[in-house]
């Protein structure tokens, strides 16, 4: 069994991972390998400023999957919205000619996203462990 690595802050230890799925506006298939590589660099750079880490980034022409090691100091919704806002602006600036074939307006992502916590023990294992705990006498 692989030993779990825990991160630390002053008074806490944590291991938080998120699987984030970002979809392009109208599911337009505008993400080329070059766009994906550029976005991956920007995700890494931005996440590092929040003491988070991009572990994996992959996807298809209309969506990207990110595996993020997160910090408990940052709210997940704020992290996602900041990532989307900043990278949308940057990718539209860097690939304006390419994206103009897909969008008339300055957009890139859909308003929605999918964020799932992952890692650690399966939920059933945690439930079973908690059921086995006994109250103090």
- The pairing of beta strand 7-8 with beta strand 53-60: unpaired
> Which tokens belong to 38?
């550029």
Better-scored residue on pLDDT, 31 or 126? 31
Choose among 51, 65, 59: nearest CA to 16: 51
The contacts found for 129-134 with CB under 8 angstroms, 24 or more apart, are none
**Distance, C-alpha 104 to centroid of its chain:** 27
- In the chain, the domains with their CATH numbers are 7-131 (3.30.70.1290)
% of residues, the chain, pLDDT over 70: 96
Q: Any idea of the CA torsion for 26, 28, 32, 38, to the nearest 10 degrees?
A: -20
Mean pLDDT score of the chain: 92
- pTM given for the model: 0.87
**CA–CA distance, 61 with 36 (Å, rounded to integer):** 9
Instruction: Give per-residue pLDDT as tens, 54-91.
Output: 999 999 999 999 999 999 999 999 999 999 999 999 99
């Amino acid at each position: 069994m692989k030993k779990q690595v825990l991160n630390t802050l002053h008074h806490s230890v944590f291991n938080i991972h998120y699987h984030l799925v970002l979809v392009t506006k109208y599911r337009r298939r505008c993400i080329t390998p070059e766009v994906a590589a550029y976005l991956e660099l920007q995700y890494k750079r931005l996440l590092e400023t929040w003491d988070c880490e991009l572990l994996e980034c992959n996807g298809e022409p209309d969506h990207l999957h990110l595996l993020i090691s997160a910090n408990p100091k940052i709210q997940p919704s704020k992290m996602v919205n900041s990532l989307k806002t900043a990278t949308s602006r940057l990718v539209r600036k860097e690939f304006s000619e390419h994206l103009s074939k897909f969008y008339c307006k300055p957009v890139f992502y859909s308003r929605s996203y999918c964020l799932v916590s992952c890692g650690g023990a399966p939920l059933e294992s945690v439930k079973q462990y908690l059921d086995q705990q006994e109250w103090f006498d």
